[in-house]
């Protein structure tokens, strides 16, 4: 049965891969993203999608997003709360408080705002799915990335609490925890690590692979396939869980 899906930060990277995977199954998909150019490019490439431009940390933008979802989809069955920012790479004593606030505002407050406004739509159906994008940094410590790790751990508690609240309404809630995901964002992570460690970018890349049982980084399409499964009929009693997709990484370095 076709589902109505909202993917935040859905115009590029993991979010766009998830949107395309749901659309490929025949689902109707709405993406939301803060980057208008990325939204235009995503819609040009994938005309079956609908879209909103907005910042998840701004309540007015989230209200507009949900109005668009209602207009384009007529309701909501699946929410993929994917929007988040990484923040800088720096030791805690040098970490910019404004950067801390920005990461917390987008990653935690933004997730809260989107879920808060999406739940009434999901409850209309008597069932639904929420997928919260956490990280490898949401299950281990992450040196020099204090705000990112703190927010990604916070999303675990967010997920667990939502699972308990929303389970009686037939709504499952799970978190997905990618490790290194191939693409420009991972390249920037290694560049940031190299700037702090004094090693080369290639040395940082190799150190990350040495930390994994599976010696390759994850493709966005594999994360998308996991999301489609967790929103599907075989996962209706899977809730409150953390799904790592990280090559069995031992640490976030």
Tens-digit pLDDT profile for residues 168-203: 999 999 999 998 777 777 777 778 778 878 888 888
Residue 54 C-alpha from the chain's centroid: 16
Report pLDDT for 65: 98
Report pLDDT for 111: 98
Task: For residues 39-53, give the mean pLDDT.
Answer: 97
Report pLDDT for 145: 92
Q: Give the separation between CA 163 and CA 142, rounded to whole angstroms.
A: 26
Tens-digit pLDDT profile for residues 101-138: 999 999 999 999 999 999 999 999 999 999 999 999 99
Report pLDDT for 222: 94
Q: Residue 237, Cβ neighbours under 10 Å: how many?
A: 7
pLDDT value at 89 more than 90: no
SS (H, E, C) 147-163: HHHHHHHHHHHHHHHHH
List, in sequence order, the alpha helices (H) in 78-231. 97-104, 110-123, 146-166, 184-197, 201-210, 220-230
pLDDT value at 252 more than 90: no
Report pLDDT for 253: 59
Burial class of residue 195 in the structure, from the number of CB atoms within 10 Å of its CB (0-12 exposed, 13-18 middle, 19+ buried)? middle
Report pLDDT for 197: 80
Q: Which two tokens stand for residue 89?
A: 């790479």
Q: Give the separation between CA 143 and CA 91, rounded to whole angstroms.
A: 7
- Entry field: residues in the chain: 253
Sign of the CA dihedral running 175, 58, 79, 7: negative
CA atoms within 13 A on the CB side of 239: 21
The rounded percent of the chain whose pLDDT value lies above 90 is: 77
Of residues 203 and 19, which shows the higher confidence score?
Answer: 19
**Does 3.40.50.720 match the CATH number of domain 4-182+219-245?**
yes
The DSSP symbol for 109 reads: I
Q: Give the separation between CA 54 and CA 48, rounded to whole angstroms.
A: 20
Burial class of residue 80 in the structure, from the number of CB atoms within 10 Å of its CB (0-12 exposed, 13-18 middle, 19+ buried)? buried
Q: Give the separation between CA 52 and CA 21, rounded to whole angstroms.
A: 19
Domain boundary assignment for the chain: 4-182+219-245, 183-217
Burial class of residue 234 in the structure, from the number of CB atoms within 10 Å of its CB (0-12 exposed, 13-18 middle, 19+ buried)? exposed
Element (DSSP H or E) covering residue 15: helix 13-24
Active site residues: 148
Q: Give the separation between CA 182 and CA 167, rounded to whole angstroms.
A: 34
Q: Reduce the DSSP state of residue 209 to 3 states and report it.
A: helix
- Whole-number mean pLDDT of the chain? 93
pLDDT value at 217 more than 90: no
Task: For residues 234-241, give the mean pLDDT.
Answer: 98
Q: Reduce the DSSP state of residue 183 to 3 states and report it.
A: coil
Q: Give the separation between CA 145 and CA 4, rounded to whole angstroms.
A: 35
């Amino acid at each position: 049965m076709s589902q109505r899906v909202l993917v935040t930060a859905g115009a590029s990277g993991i979010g766009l891969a998830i949107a395309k995977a749901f659309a490929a199954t025949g689902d109707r998909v709405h993406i939301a993203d803060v980057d208008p150019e990325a939204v235009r490019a995503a819609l040009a490439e994938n005309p079956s999608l609908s879209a909103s431009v907005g910042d998840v940390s701004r309540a007015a933008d989230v209200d507009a997003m949900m109005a668009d979802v209602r207009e384009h989809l007529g309701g909501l069955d699946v929410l993929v709360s994917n929007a988040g920012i990484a923040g800088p790479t720096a030791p805690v004593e040098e970490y910019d408080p404004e950067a801390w606030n920005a990461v917390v505002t987008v990653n935690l407050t933004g997730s809260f705002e989107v879920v808060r406004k999406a739940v009434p739509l999901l409850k209309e159906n008597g069932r639904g799915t929420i997928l919260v994008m956490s990280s490898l940094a949401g299950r281990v410590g992450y040196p020099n990335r204090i705000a990112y790790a703190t927010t990604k751990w916070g999303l675990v508690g967010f997920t667990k609490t939502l699972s308990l609240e929303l389970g009686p309404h037939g709504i499952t809630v799970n978190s997905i925890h990618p490790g290194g995901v191939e693409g420009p964002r991972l390249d920037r992570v290694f560049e940031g690590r190299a700037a702090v460690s004094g090693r080369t970018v290639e040395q940082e890349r190799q150190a990350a692979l040495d930390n994994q049982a599976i010696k390759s980084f994850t493709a966005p399409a594999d994360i998308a396939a996991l999301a489609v499964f967790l929103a599907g009929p075989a996962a209706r009693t899977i809730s409150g869980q953390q799904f790592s997709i990280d090559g069995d990484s031992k640490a976030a370095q």
